[in-house]
Structure 1
Amino acid sequence: MAPARLLVRSLAALSAGLLVLTACGGSGDSDGSGDSGGKPRSGGPVVVATSSWEAALAKAAGAKNVQYIVPASIRHAPDYDLKPSDLTKVADADYVLYASFEPFAGRIKEAAGSKAKLVEVQLDNDPAATEAGVTKLGKLFGTERVATKWNATFAAQRKKLAQQVKSAWPGGKRPVVVAQAFTTWAAELAGAQLAGTYGPDQVTPAQLSKLSAKKPKFVLDNENMSTGTVLPGSGAKQLNIVNYPGADLDVIAVYRKAAEQMEKAFGGS
């Protein structure tokens, strides 16, 4: 993903914010279960994720007490300006999930004085990466059976969605597409012919010329990192593919939305 551009407050200020909020009774626990104290929780481990994406993977893996810091409405999570109130969620966590491009995760844990285990999660909607992430978290949480079941459902749903998109191919032929570096999973889901990729930086004139020469019919842009119209004047229809799950923390819904977008676009071309 793109390098994070974060304005993170000092650890001292964040810690002070935590003390004030803690004094007001803020625990950050989603279900009111007891403190960690090294003891098993009745509802399973408390998991705090930096964004809805990690949180969705944790939910898929079987975690029930899941919270996330960056609001789902934030378009590009690494741009989020951390607030002292965010620390209350971390203070009582068993696990803090983060991605490598979110450098504030470790500082959150340190400032909050949490004893939570910091776990790096790979954020990539590539099916293999998604399933591997869910499997990893399932083992960590002790919910392997739930994770395995979810992966099976995910595979079945993905196959169904792929068939739906294929049925909308223009003229019954594989559409030629260009995709942003982090939306190639959508091209794969569609069974499209990937003519080239771009990003995460803005397309240069040389790239524009090269990609336009391949005459793609569609551009699969990344809604969460969009730089605007990618191939102006090429005639290619641009679709804004979303990578991050919404507040429902449903990874499969991300695939479903992308499939619906492509099915509609392909069928109308």
Structure 2
Amino acid sequence: MARNRVRTARIASLLALTAALALLTGCGGEDAARPAAHKGAGHRPAVVVTTTWEGAFAKAAGAEDVTVIVPRSVHHAPDYDPKPSDLAAVARADFVLYAPFEPYAAKIKEAAGSKARLVEVNLDNEPARASAEITRLGGLFGTKGAAERFTARLDGEVARLNGELESAWPGGKSPVVVTQVFTGWAAGLAGATTVGTYGPEPVTPARLAALSARKPALVLDNAHMSTGTVLPDVAAKQVEVVNYPGEDLDLLAVYRDAAAAMKKAMGGA
């Protein structure tokens, strides 16, 4: 109930900001919120994203004008309270990108009075799924060629990192790992053998016992939802996997950083 009250208060604060937004956008006219399709050929779509993760997908898809609402320092996006400047950006956007676990995105758009297209993004760093989503966004933005060029780069980088990680396998054998539900992509990058998953709900004693019995060499934890040591009674090395790109919105860096962390844990650094 407390969480519901907090969420209701945040939504109310968004609606209260509408008056401030009107002052910011009142001189912009109808064209300020007009979708990209009505602005002519060659128009660069203005894309507003909730986090750097959506931002990286948008940039990879070819978007050049990308505004991120939630600072990277906020690990749990739904906890962020948007500012009037955030709503002003949304009001002028052609597209607003959000993830299913960020339920306030529609309220932000509504409070901003924006005519932007609200696009739900499947945030998954598993390479094939990421490429499919980037390709879809490129089609929406009218930047399909840029999206195709990026996905080719992604394929090449993933192949390179996978080769490096397999060369670092202890004893030449695929490491046995347990992953958090949102870090399975990293196990695939390493060519690891996944024997169990956990989360996003807390690990129960029964689940803990079952995962420990698998005797994993690595635990790939989610840095954004970490609760500390996952398997305290197992001599497994825990690797913190970061899903969100930095402020430069470089999606490839996410794969490189995860690869470096896993290589170090496998003793190949």
TM-score (ref. length: structure 2): 0.90
Identity, % of aligned positions: 57
CA contact (8 A) 1:121 1:133 kept: yes
State the alpha-carbon separation in 1 of the partners of residues 15 and 49 from structure 2.
22
Q: Secondary structure at the match of 1:8?
A: helix
What is the 5 A alignment of 1:22-61? 22=25, 35=32, 37=34, 38-40=38-40, 44-61=44-61
Match of 1:79 in 2: 79
State the alpha-carbon separation in 2 of the partners of residues 263 and 137 from structure 1.
32
User: Which amino acid in structure 2 is aligned with residue 8 of structure 1?
Assistant: R
What is the 5 A alignment of 1:1-269? 6=7, 8-10=10-12, 11-22=14-25, 35=32, 37=34, 38-40=38-40, 44-267=44-267
Q: Secondary structure at the match of 1:53?
A: helix
CA contact (8 A) 1:177 1:220 kept: yes
- CA-CA distance at 1:76 after TM superposition: 2.1
Q: Secondary structure at the match of 1:86?
A: helix
State the alpha-carbon separation in 1 of the partners of residues 133 and 268 from structure 2.
36
State the alpha-carbon separation in 2 of the partners of residues 67 and 255 from structure 1.
23
Q: Secondary structure at the match of 1:224?
A: coil
User: Which amino acid in structure 2 is aligned with residue 209 of structure 1?
Assistant: A
CA contact (8 A) 1:221 1:241 kept: yes
- CA-CA distance at 1:72 after TM superposition: 1.5
Q: Secondary structure at the match of 2:75?
A: coil
Q: What number of residue pairs does the alignment pair up?
A: 259
- Give per-residue Cα distances to partners, 1:221-245, cap 9 Å, x unaligned: 0001112110012111111100111
CA contact (8 A) 1:212 1:231 kept: yes
CA RMSD after TM alignment: 2.1
State the alpha-carbon separation in 2 of the partners of residues 268 and 99 from structure 1.
35
Q: 1:205 to 1:235 in 2, by over 3 A?
A: same
User: Which amino acid in structure 2 is aligned with residue 58 of structure 1?
Assistant: A
State the alpha-carbon separation in 2 of the partners of residues 126 and 110 from structure 1.
32
Match of 1:30 in 2: none
Q: Secondary structure at the match of 1:163?
A: helix
User: Which amino acid in structure 2 is aligned with residue 94 of structure 1?
Assistant: D
Q: Secondary structure at the match of 1:259?
A: helix
State the alpha-carbon separation in 1 of the partners of residues 262 and 202 from structure 2.
23
State the alpha-carbon separation in 2 of the partners of residues 118 and 206 from structure 1.
41
CA contact (8 A) 1:43 1:65 kept: no
CA contact (8 A) 2:11 2:104 kept: no
State the alpha-carbon separation in 1 of the partners of residues 43 and 55 from structure 2.
16
Match of 1:31 in 2: none
State the alpha-carbon separation in 1 of the partners of residues 174 and 114 from structure 2.
51
Q: 1:124 to 1:267 in 2, by over 3 A?
A: same
TM-score (ref. length: structure 1): 0.90
- Give per-residue Cα distances to partners, 1:10-69, cap 9 Å, x unaligned: 15302023134447x8x8xxxxxx845431375511000111111111100001111110
State the alpha-carbon separation in 1 of the partners of residues 101 and 114 from structure 2.
21
User: Which amino acid in structure 2 is aligned with residue 219 of structure 1?
Assistant: V
Q: 1:221 to 1:158 in 2, by over 3 A?
A: same
Give the unaligned 5+ runs of structure 1: 28-33
Greater share of residues in helix: 2
